[in-house]
Chains A and B, each alone.
Chain A
Amino acid sequence: MASSSEVGGSSADYETMMSTSDVELLKRAWRNEKAAPEILQYEGALVERAKEQIELVEETIEDYVENGKDPLLVSLYQMDLDRTQFLLRSYLRVRLLKIEKFMFHNLKSEEAERRLSEQERVFATKCADDLAKHFEETVLLKLPENYQSVLKQSQISEVDDMVPQPHLDTFVVCRSNNFVSLNLYEEGESPETVEMERGDLYFIRYKIVKGAIESGQIDLI
């Protein structure tokens, strides 16, 4: 995708720009988000830059169409624009679907809350309110008093036991970018490690690679 200073660049420049551009970063973020069972850190700066670039290319295309430039070139730019828009939309969509799925968990766990953007937090609160209200009206108000909580089974429960949580034990396919050595088990138990060379593919439980994904050393596929 053309950057702001080289909008009318030739096709050679275009190719070299693609390899380290925001599109690649967006694709990587999108792939990780799609494969992970829980919500990952929001790439705010990346999304902003992607939005700006999309707007810019849209304007350029309109310009070209009005000036009657080569329609093949215009439709190539259009296709590339469509693809990038799809990436951005799908990224945001996958995050929203994860928020919807684990509504109450995301608002309770501080770690998850930190990973949401401002607007996503507003969305999550409103979503949870809607669902709680729906539950109350359909079921809870008709039940006897001690059993009317949305999050707890009854007043006697000590923790909120009715909150679905993401399954961190699911297996995922991942590839590492550097040499990484990870603990296979929880701390305190037998410290077996798995060592990954650069470019190795592994089919492993999500919990183990969680930290490495956040620091960018491992990618999910």
Chain B
Amino acid sequence: MYGRKGYQLLKDFASGEKGQLKPFNSKLFDETIEECDQNHHLMQSLMRKMQQEDLDVQNSRNADHYGALIHHLSLMRNKRCLMAYVYNRAEIVRDLAWRVGLELLDLPSEIQEKLTSLEKEYFKNHSVTLKSYMGKVGIELNVDMVPPKDPYIKVRILDDIDEGIVLSDKTTNFARHSMHFLKRTDAEPYIARGQMEELTD
């Protein structure tokens, strides 16, 4: 049945949690593309058959015309399914760039596994675009994602970060499970990546 593979592809996408990616389903994707090719060949052969019978391809209405129409419609539907799949994944990729960080290597490895190399390319290009906009406007747009209640917050370190952290007013050694009193804008990128958690009590 034409169109079933496209439907399965989209169902696979929808069955993941909203906002989370599943690994790219290349098998179904390629099968859908094959079906498109098939549709196209069949459609062309029907149209050629009509031409051979000297019928006007645009206007005559016989069984072949309708057959070609079905192939055309099925092709369009498959195209829309494929593009919807890619579009929605790209939306999630953009969302990741906003939430987690603009560097590809900052993404946790579980997420990196689920992206194809083309999607990683897209992520990189998009980060570059965002960074160049932020540079032109002169303001960083990645920090301050939630309205600030207090300028300083208490955080607990979850992963081993050690040295290499540059804060705006002091340098500290971050050992695992230690608690610190940091400026909100400094701590935000680490909280987004899951390396620190905010203590609210």
Partner of B129, one of A51, A123, A139, A162: A123
Which residue in chain A gives the minimum CB-CB distance to B122? A134
Nearest CB of chain B from residue A82's CB, rounded to whole Å: 5
Contact A144 B36, beta carbon cutoff 8 Å: yes
Q: Which residues of A contact B33 (CB under 8 A)?
A: 139, 142-143
Q: Which residues of A contact B80 (CB under 8 A)?
A: 153, 162
Interface string of A155-189 (1 = CB under 8 A from B): 01000001000000000000000000000000000
The size class of the interface chain B forms with chain A is 35 or more
**Bound-complex Cα distance A133 to B116 (A):** 15
Nearest CB of chain B from residue A51's CB, rounded to whole Å: 7
Q: Which residues of B contact A10 (CB under 8 A)?
A: none
Asked, given contacts A79-B148, A143-B33, whether A154 binds B122 with beta carbons under 8 Å apart, the answer is: no
| Residue A119 lies at the interface, judged by CB distance under 8 Å to chain B | yes
Of A75, A100, A162, the most chain B CB neighbours within 10 A belong to A100
| Residue B136 lies at the interface, judged by CB distance under 8 Å to chain A | yes
Interface string of B118-157 (1 = CB under 8 A from A): 1101100110011011001111110110011011000000
Which residue in chain B gives the minimum CB-CB distance to A144? B40
Which B31-80 residues sit within 8 Å CB-CB of chain A?
33, 36-37, 40, 72, 75-76, 79-80
Contact A89 B143, beta carbon cutoff 8 Å: yes
| Residue B82 lies at the interface, judged by CB distance under 8 Å to chain A | yes
Q: Which residues of B contact A122 (CB under 8 A)?
A: 132-133, 136
Contact A83 B36, beta carbon cutoff 8 Å: no
**Bound-complex Cα distance A198 to B140 (A):** 38
Nearest CB of chain A from residue B27's CB, rounded to whole Å: 15
Contact B139 A119, beta carbon cutoff 8 Å: no
Asked, given contacts A119-B136, A144-B75, whether A135 binds B83 with beta carbons under 8 Å apart, the answer is: yes
Q: Which residues of A contact B136 (CB under 8 A)?
A: 119, 122
Nearest CB of chain B from residue A71's CB, rounded to whole Å: 12
Which residue in chain B gives the minimum CB-CB distance to A88? B139
| Residue A21 lies at the interface, judged by CB distance under 8 Å to chain B | no
Interface string of B155-190 (1 = CB under 8 A from A): 000000000000000000000000000001100000
Asked, given contacts A127-B129, A137-B118, whether A86 binds B144 with beta carbons under 8 Å apart, the answer is: yes
Q: Besides the contacts A78-B151, A79-B150, A119-B133, what 16 more A-B pairs have beta carbons closer than 8 Å?
A: A79-B148, A82-B185, A83-B148, A86-B144, A88-B139, A92-B139, A93-B141, A122-B133, A126-B132, A127-B129, A134-B86, A134-B119, A139-B79, A147-B79, A153-B79, A156-B72
Give 19 CB contacts A-B under 8 Å: A75-B151, A79-B151, A82-B148, A86-B148, A88-B139, A100-B94, A122-B132, A122-B133, A122-B136, A127-B126, A133-B125, A134-B119, A134-B121, A135-B86, A144-B37, A153-B76, A153-B79, A156-B72, A162-B80
Footprint of A on B, CB under 8 Å?
A: 33, 36-37, 40, 72, 75-76, 79-80, 82-83, 86-87, 90, 94, 98, 116, 118-119, 121-122, 125-126, 129-130, 132-133, 136-141, 143-144, 147-148, 150-151, 184-185
